[in-house]
A and B are shown apart, each in its own frame.
Chain A
Amino acid sequence: MRDLAHEQSGAVMVVGLFMAVFAVGLVYALMGIGETVAYQEEVQQVADTGAFSAAVTHARGMNTIALVNRSISTTSATLSAFTIMDVAFSPVVCSLPHGACEEHRAHHAAIRADVAPRAEALLRAATRAAERVAEVTPVLADAEVGAIGAEVHSDRVRRAFLVHSRMPLARSNLAPACALTNVNAFRLAKEAMGDLLYAQTLGERAIRADREAFQCTTLDVAGAGPLVPDPPNLPVGTEPWQLRVAVLGNADRVRGIGRGVRVPRDSIGRPATTERAWAEATDADRGTTLALAQAEYYCEWEHANLQNDTALHIVEEDAFSMCWRARLRRVRIPTGVAIDEVTRDRQYDAWVRGSLLASCGDDCLPLMDLVSVANDAIH
């Protein structure tokens, strides 16, 4: 024992071996950090590009719907002009001599009987087309997100999907379309009647974008109407225009040499009420991670998001304008509303169960711990 204590041979070897083991560990850790950073960036990149692309798809859908709405407005102007002429030739308004009113009325009624059914068929066809676009747009967006995940980043992504949300649109009656084209409807009536007859019967009227105008209140075609925001006064940035993309990352490669990224429970936005703890994916499936991203589609037209009608614009007018674009947003669930933590947690839980899990299915069940921790991290 004394000999061993005094023996110095092999001392450098022992120190060297310890250093070698330490250096091996260092290389291992370095590779783990590198892989983890690369993995995190890649998965988040898929989520970001997926969310933005989904919002672009929705913006394209809105622009297509705006175009069809404009076509509805254009066709409804013809029917409005007919209503204006009905009034112009009515016994109450028309005071032309020698039975001219009756003659004009009969002539106009014959034309209207021929044209109105064809115009109404066009309006119904346009409405069906707009509704079909609103229906397929979220499907197309989800397919685009899936393609980005599967084709571009297949090695690190298990699944990328759009959290289900329908376009916040509903079929309106024809009043908004009619209101937008009031000016043109009177011009058409003038074109049909000629300036003199128009002046003799209707005179010059002050015309504004007014859904209460007589030709709009009586304009009703069953099964036809533009698709407009529902409710109509949804400002930019509110929840219905938000899209969220979730990406289930394949962390198997990272797990081999690193522990992946752990999210602290008391990270951002709320005071630490508990001792710091780290989120761990469940043991059942530690190879899967979750990344979220959010984007929105919005109309950048200066008169978009009116809260009420004005003399020149109607509240739904952004649904008639090809002004829709997309942009990324910070992930926030729900958005745009200041609420207390308890309400927020309840809403977040409702979103997770009602939207995220509904879109993801069983794939997301092993991630529930991470998803609930994300509530603290993203608010």
Chain B
Amino acid sequence: MRFIEDTRGSATSEGVIIAPVLVILFAAVLWAGARYTTERRNAAQVHRQPWAPALAGCVDGAPDPNLTEALSGYDSRLAGNVPRLRRDLDRVTVSRFDESRTDEVQQPAPLGGGTLELRERTRVSCNTVPVSWNEDEVELMTLDEFCRLSPYCDPL
């Protein structure tokens, strides 16, 4: 009974009870900060990575099958009519820059421990690379087509 009525040390014992709660909460703040820092850093790296190559045009793509299909066979006519133009069609390429990255953060024991995977992914189409026309080449293309269509290339 004296023990209950004795108030000496009560502040200490209350502090002892509440301190772990505050420590856990403080740790939770640190963990949450670390988690979002990692997530943001991960995302920033993934999102920043594709832009430089994409803006410059990645130039390693394949001919665009969708646009070729939209030509409804005209691309093969180009091959027959003006081979030089068909070659340039192959330069209308499709390429994309895909980037993904996974970082891990250690989970606190009260949340089950282990690691938490933070995955980021992005995709950007690569810009086109301009194809310049050489006037001599245009003259040759025109002559090719003229000679293919007409017998005039044998001088009169």
Residues of chain A having any CB pair with chain B under 8 Å:
8-13, 16-17, 19-20, 23-24, 26-27, 30-31, 34, 37-38, 41-42, 45, 49, 52-53, 56-57, 59-61, 63-64, 67-68, 70-71, 74-75, 77-78, 81, 104, 107, 111, 115, 118-119, 122, 125-126, 128-129, 132-133, 135-137, 140, 144, 147-148, 151-153, 181, 183-185, 187-188, 191-194, 197, 300-301, 321-327
Query: Shortest distance in angstroms between A18's beta carbon and chain B's nearest beta carbon?
Result: 10
> A184–B144 Cα gap in the complex (Å)?
12
Contact: A192 with B77, CB < 8 Å? no
Number of B residues, CB within 8 Å of A: 70
Contact of B128 among A45, A181, A326 (CB under 8 A): A326
Asked if A140 and B126 make an inter-chain contact with CB atoms under 8 angstroms apart, the answer reads no
B86 to chain A, nearest CB (A): 9
A23 interface neighbour in B26, B91, B143, Cβ under 8 Å? B26
Interface residues of B in 92-130 (CB under 8 A from A): 92-94, 96, 121-128, 130
Partner of A152 from the list B40, B94, B123, B139 (CB cut-off 8 Å) is B123
Q: Could you tell me if B25 and A30 are in contact, using CB atoms closer than 8 angstroms?
A: no
CB–CB B22/A326 < 8 A: no
Tell me the complex Cα distance, A183–B143, Å. Answer: 12
19 CB-based A-B contacts, threshold 8 Å: A10-B14, A12-B10, A12-B11, A12-B18, A38-B39, A41-B47, A52-B124, A60-B94, A64-B70, A67-B88, A68-B71, A75-B81, A75-B145, A78-B150, A128-B74, A133-B70, A192-B146, A192-B156, A322-B92
Chain B residues near A (Cβ < 8 Å): 7, 10-11, 14-15, 17-18, 21-22, 25-26, 28-29, 32-33, 35-36, 39-40, 43, 47, 50, 54-55, 57, 64, 66-67, 70-72, 74, 77-78, 81-82, 85, 88-89, 91-94, 96, 121-128, 130-133, 138-139, 141-143, 145-146, 149-153, 155-156
Residues of B within 8 A of A192 (CB): 146, 150, 152-153, 156
User: Which of B123, B126, B150 is packed against the most chain A CB atoms within 10 Å?
Assistant: B150
CB-CB < 8 A to B132: which residues of A?
323
> Do B72 and A128 touch (CB < 8 A)?
yes
Contact B146 A81 (CB under 8 A): yes
Known: A30-B33, A191-B153. A323 touches B121 (CB 8 A): no
* A119 CA to B142 CA, complexed, in Å: 13
Instruction: State whether A181 and B142 are in contact (beta carbons under 8 Å apart), knowing that A8-B7, A10-B14, A67-B88 are contacts in the complex.
Output: yes
Q: Known A53-B124, A144-B125; judge A111-B15 contact (CB<8 A).
A: no
